[in-house]
């Protein structure tokens, strides 16, 4: 195992859904995670597939494109270090979206065949699967709630927090210092025009809450940005 893979294994053991799982299941998942580096633009999962693996991000960032509704639906979340996806086939479903590496990313995969065998031998571990589904439910409902915020400043602030891993997570991640997000992506995620989002972003930058240079967003003061999102 490389030093990069070792660091990623430690991260997924201590953050996100897997970090909150029962030790025996967590240790089995880590031991059965196969790591691979994905180049920017390279696909990991594809909407409609019914088999493959459950995936996690060890480092880097993944972009999700939903398979529900229109293809131009805005981004609800990015795949950040410690995040997992791909559990739907365990319940007889399919991948409901496609995942593409945004940047050079180390991602892990646990084959569904091996995970099904584990669950058959240890049926109590289905509780751990229920936990990740509940986490994804919180994320989905939270994204919907953010979209109901009428005030543009509050909605943009809430969306930046959510995309950066600071909001609507049952299991906390260790949010990166900055994440890749163009103004076009942010506008789509907020369902606002780029002009509206640009005006709000400039205001948040002037207050020292964020920095948006080089196609990235750095959250400089999460506490104050959260107040901006939740202000009456």
Domain 149-230 sits in CATH at 1.10.10.10
Show the tokens assigned to 76. Answer: 């609800």
Cα(210)–Cα(203) distance, integer angstroms: 9
Bridge-based pairing of strands 97-101 and 62-66 is antiparallel
Which portions of the chain are predicted below pLDDT 70?
67-74, 232
The mean of the pLDDT values for the chain is 91
pLDDT digits 0-9 by tens, 55-85: 999 999 999 877 665 555 567 788 999 999 9
Sheet holding 78-79, edge to edge: 43-45, 97-101, 62-66, 78-79
What homologous superfamily is domain 3-145 in, according to CATH?
Answer: Jelly Rolls (2.60.120.10)
Q: Where are the domains of the chain?
A: 3-145, 149-230
149-230 matches 3-145 in CATH topology = no
pLDDT at 93: 82
Spatial neighbors of 168 by CB under 8 A, at least 6 apart, are 138, 139, 141, 142, 143, 145, 146, 162
Cα(57)–Cα(84) distance, integer angstroms: 7
| CA R_g for the chain | 18
User: Which DSSP category does 69 fall into?
Assistant: S
pLDDT at 218: 96
Cα(78)–Cα(92) distance, integer angstroms: 25
């Amino acid at each position: 195992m490389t030093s990069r893979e070792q660091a990623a294994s430690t991260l997924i053991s201590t953050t996100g859904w897997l970090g909150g799982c029962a030790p025996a299941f967590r240790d089995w998942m880590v031991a059965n995670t196969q790591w691979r580096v994905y180049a920017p633009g390279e696909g990991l999962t594809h909407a409609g597939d019914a088999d493959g693996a459950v995936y996690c991000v060890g480092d880097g960032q993944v972009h999700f494109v939903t398979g529900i509704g229109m293809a131009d639906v805005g981004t609800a979340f990015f795949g950040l270090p410690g995040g997992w996806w791909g559990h739907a086939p365990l319940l007889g479903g399919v991948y409901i979206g496609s995942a593409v590496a945004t940047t050079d990313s180390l991602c892990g995969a646990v084959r569904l065949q091996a995970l099904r065998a584990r669950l058959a031998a240890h049926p109590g571990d289905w509780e751990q699967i229920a936990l990740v589904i509940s986490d994804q439910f919180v994320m989905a409902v939270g994204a919907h709630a953010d979209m109901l915020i009428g005030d543009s400043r509050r909605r943009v602030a809430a969306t930046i927090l959510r995309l950066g891993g600071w909001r609507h997570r049952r299991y906390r991640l260790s949010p990166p210092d900055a994440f890749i997000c163009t103004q076009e992506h942010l506008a789509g995620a907020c369902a606002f025009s780029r002009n509206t989002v640009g005006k709000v972003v400039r205001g948040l930058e002037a207050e020292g809450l964020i920095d948006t240079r080089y196609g990235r967003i750095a959250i400089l003061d999460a506490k104050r940005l959260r107040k901006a999102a939740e202000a009456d």
